[in-house]
């Protein structure tokens, strides 16, 4: 029985490869649908924070004139939208819409005795127009909170009495300033309201607010704070569901802010209920708005092209500059980044985008997609089993069968998210690792026939083996695309977890194979026992220490949290400007050239095979590029192929340098040792 099982394990590789290839082919229509989806949203919208402009204007001698002047300059620069926060009484007073008094203030102004048991808020509108637009808002919000509101007049100006303290009344969020909304709309700006979740959710109040938004042509809602509107009351009252119904009724999208430390609570549920009518938003911070205009422009251009972001949110900074004895701000800097110095608008349009209100993607699907993804899943499981075949051959069929059973179980208990991410991750690890294993075997065959290999043949075989291995590794991306094609990954509502394992596992497995599996079917328990009983020498400690330090540095450079030096940033920007798509430095500057020169050297000097451990970084990196699912497929593919081309050129240069070093060593080494 054991021998029969081993026989089937040995013969399973052929059938597993067939399943892998079928799975890869099945992923192609999924990839095509995703590319179609990525091309359905081509408008890029620039939005600036109106609250910051108000803050800047407060330091000007003529605030209202300054606001209108800067609004026109921003509009001329290409900024077409304005973000308006929910207002409150202090903000409306600062804007000159109304005056706020306490009961004591009113008593003093009217030469009356200060009331002992009244602590109300008195609001006086500064004009008839302000009253017409603000009175309905104040009455609606405070009445919804069971706070009585009545009319009041002082010095022939209309007002309201709100029966709560000025401190309490000032904390209550109101609608976005309707006077500002009208002014901005009349100037041709698109309005992007920022709503919070500070008050108990009220469906009638929210319905009236959204009706008002519709009259001003609002298309997108942006949330302010740690949660979406309706989240705090959702458990008891299902308020997110109610809010979503209003969003769908008014055909309003919601904006997903990129790179938040923590996603806004309730956003994923609201996005689902709103049929994923979602646009992604990049936020330029106040500090970043003061960077060099070219740097600011690059961020806008890369966000639109490389990360599929369609809404650019601009925060403006104001600060005291004691060296100039003046208040400074970043408005002019932002305008320069968009126009004559940074050319952000021009570059974005050059990339095929148009300026306009951002819209959600139109998700493309095709018939039988569900069953096609099942074929992709089986192919991915077969790839994982193949990896086991090259390390623990006895477990090959067991891994495949258990993978199928486990997948069926996760589907049955509705854990498809865990299933697709886990299988995609393991398949993405397996394919480049298997490609490296075949490369190691090919190099060993080259070494065995080294006597018949000329320099030209070694160069040719090094190039062919590099191209074959790299293209093979790239096919691992098909399983990521085929399994993680849901729109939630493209919107970064769901994220591909475990990518750090992808950064490390293929390197470790390649090293394990080179060190212990070359020329063997299996390392086995005897090999493990022998390894564990070896004495630990100082050399081993030093080597492991170096590996640990290098590994930590490598991991620190991966992912979104990786850091780069200013010099490297300039180099990256130069590549972007030259090729319009920036290849990964660790691929074409390090891993790919080391792969090519490593094969060339290892074909003659056996121990040079260990260079392929470092070279495996390039293979996994190409697959890892596709793990950034928010990036367009074609951009990721171009980045990988461009890295291969540049790496090939540098690899050939490295071979020439090695040949020079080798010949110099042969010529001068005998005389050096003789002396």
Nearest to 439 by CA among 615, 274, 642, 231: 615
Report helix, strand or coil for 265. Answer: strand
Q: Which residues pair with 194 in a beta bridge?
A: 85, 222
Per-residue pLDDT at 409 = 87
Give CA–CA dist 371/557, Å, rounded: 38
Model pLDDT for residues 565-613, shown as the tens digit of each residue: 566 666 666 777 677 788 888 888 888 999 999 999 999 888 888 889 9
Q: What's residue 443's pLDDT? A: 93
**How, if at all, do strands 278-284 and 311-314 pair?**
parallel
DSSP string, 426-457: HHHHHHHHHHHHHHHHHHHHHHHTGGG--HHH
- pLDDT at res. 422: 92
- The arithmetic mean of pLDDT across residues 616-637, rounded, is 92
Beta-strand pair 81-85/190-195: parallel
Q: What percentage of the chain has pLDDT greater than the value 90?
A: 59
Q: State both tokens at 604.
A: 């003659």
Contact (Cβ atoms closer than 8 angstroms) between residue 628 and residue 582:
no
As beta bridge partners, residue 253 has 220
For residue 253, the SS3 value is strand
**How far is CA 343 from its chain centroid?**
24
Least confident of 214-228, 240-254, 543-557, 637-651: 543-557
Please answer whether residues 469 and 435 qualify as being in contact, where contact means their C-beta atoms are separated by less than 8 angstroms.
yes
Q: What is the DSSP string of 385-399?
A: HHHHHHH-GGGHHHH
Partners of 255 in the β-ladder: 279
Q: What's the pLDDT at 553?
A: 58
Burial of 499 (0-12, 13-18, 19+ CB in 10 A): middle
**How does pLDDT run across 191-234, given as a tens digit for each residue?**
999 999 999 999 998 999 999 999 999 999 999 989 999 999 99
pLDDT digits (tens, 9 = 90+) for 78-93: 999 999 999 999 989 8
Strand partners, 191: 82
pLDDT at 326: 77
Task: Give the closest residue to 12 by CA, choosing from 524, 400, 406.
Answer: 400
Which pLDDT value is given to residue 561? 47
Say if residues 295 and 564 touch (Cβ distance below 8 Å): no
Q: Is 311 helix (H, G, I), strand (E, B) or coil?
A: strand
Q: CA–CA separation, 286 vs 258, rounded Å?
A: 16
What is the per-residue pLDDT for 83? 96
Distance separating alpha carbons of residues 157 and 493, to the nearest angstrom: 50
pTM for the model stands at: 0.87
Residue 456: count of CB within 10 angstroms of its CB: 8
pLDDT tens digits along 58-82? 888 888 899 999 999 999 999 999 9
Tokens of 28: 């192609």
Q: Which residue is associated with the tokens 């009495």?
A: 161
Answer yes or no: are the C-beta atoms of 427 and 476 closer than 8 Å.
yes
């Amino acid at each position: 029985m054991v021998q029969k099982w081993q026989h089937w394990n040995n013969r399973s590789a052929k059938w597993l490869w067939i399943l892998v290839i079928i799975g890869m082919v099945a992923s192609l229509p999924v990839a095509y649908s995703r590319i179609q989806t990525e091309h359905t949203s081509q408008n890029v919208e620039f939005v600036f924070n109106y609250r910051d402009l108000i803050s800047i204007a407060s330091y000007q001698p003529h605030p209202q004139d300054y606001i209108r002047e800067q609004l026109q300059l921003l509009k001329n620069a290409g900024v077409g939208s304005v973000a308006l926060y929910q207002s409150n009484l202090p903000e409306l007073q600062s804007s000159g819409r109304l005056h706020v008094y306490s009961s004591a203030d009113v008593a003093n102004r009217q030469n009356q005795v200060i009331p002992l048991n009244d602590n109300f808020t008195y609001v006086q509108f500064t004009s008839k127009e302000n009253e017409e637009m603000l009175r309905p808002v104040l009455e609606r919000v405070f009445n919804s909170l069971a706070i009585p509101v009545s009319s009041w007049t002082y010095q022939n100006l209309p007002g309201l009495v709100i029966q709560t303290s000025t401190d309490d009344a000032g904390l209550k969020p109101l609608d976005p300033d309707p006077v500002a909304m009208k002014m901005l709309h009349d100037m041709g700006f698109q309005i992007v309201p920022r709503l919070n979740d500070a008050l108990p959710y009220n469906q009638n109040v929210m319905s009236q607010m959204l009706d008002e938004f519709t009259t001003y042509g609002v298309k997108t809602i942006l949330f302010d704070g740690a949660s979406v509107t309706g989240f705090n009351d959702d458990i008891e009252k299902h308020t997110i569901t109610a809010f979503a119904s209003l969003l769908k009724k008014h055909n309003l999208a919601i904006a997903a802010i990129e790179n938040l430390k923590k996603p806004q609570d309730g956003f994923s549920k609201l996005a689902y209920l709103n049929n994923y009518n979602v646009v992604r938003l990049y936020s330029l911070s106040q500090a970043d708005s003061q960077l060099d205009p070219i740097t600011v422009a690059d961020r806008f251009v890369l966000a639109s092209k490389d990360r599929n972001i369609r809404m650019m949110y601009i925060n403006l900074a104001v600060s005291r500059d004691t060296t100039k004895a003046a208040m400074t701000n970043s408005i002019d800097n932002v305008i320069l980044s968009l126009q004559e110095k940074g050319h952000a608008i021009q570059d974005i349009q050059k990339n095929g985008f148009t300026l306009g209100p951002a819209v959600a993607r139109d998700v493309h699907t095709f018939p039988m997609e569900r069953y096609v993804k099942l074929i992709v899943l089986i192919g991915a499981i077969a790839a994982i089993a193949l990896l086991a075949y090259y390390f623990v051959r006895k477990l090959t069929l067991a891994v495949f069968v258990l993978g199928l059973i486990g997948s069926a179980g996760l589907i049955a208990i509705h854990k498809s998210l865990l299933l697709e991410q886990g299988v995609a991750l393991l398949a993405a690890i397996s394919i480049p690792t298997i490609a490296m294993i075949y490369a190691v075997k090919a190099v060993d065959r080259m070494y065995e026939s080294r006597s018949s290999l000329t320099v030209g043949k070694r160069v040719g075989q090094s190039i062919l083996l590099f191209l074959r291995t790299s293209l093979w590794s790239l096919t691992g991306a098909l399983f990521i695309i085929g399994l993680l094609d849901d729109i939630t990954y493209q919107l970064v509502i769901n994220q591909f977890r475990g990518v750090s394992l992808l950064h490390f596992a293929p390197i470790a497995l390649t090293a394990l194979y080179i060190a212990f599996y070359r020329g063997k079917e299996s390392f086995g328990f005897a090999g493990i026992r022998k390894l564990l009983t070896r004495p630990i020498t100082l050399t081993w400690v030093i080597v492991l220490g170096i590996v640990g330090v290098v590994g930590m540095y490598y991991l620190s450079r991966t992912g979104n949290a990786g850091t780069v030096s200013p010099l490297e940033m300039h180099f990256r920007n130069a590549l972007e400007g030259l090729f319009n798509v920036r290849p990964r430095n660790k691929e074409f500057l390090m891993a790919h050239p080391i792969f090519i020169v490593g094969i060339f050297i290892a074909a003659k000097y056996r121990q040079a095979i260990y260079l392929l451990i470092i070279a495996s970084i390039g293979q996994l990196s190409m697959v890892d590029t596709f793990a950034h699912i928010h990036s367009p497929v074609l951009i990721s593919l171009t980045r990988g192929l461009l890295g291969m081309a540049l790496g090939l050129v540098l690899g050939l240069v490295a071979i020439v340098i090695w040949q020079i070093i080798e010949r110099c060593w042969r010529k001068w080494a005998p005389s050096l040792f003789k002396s």
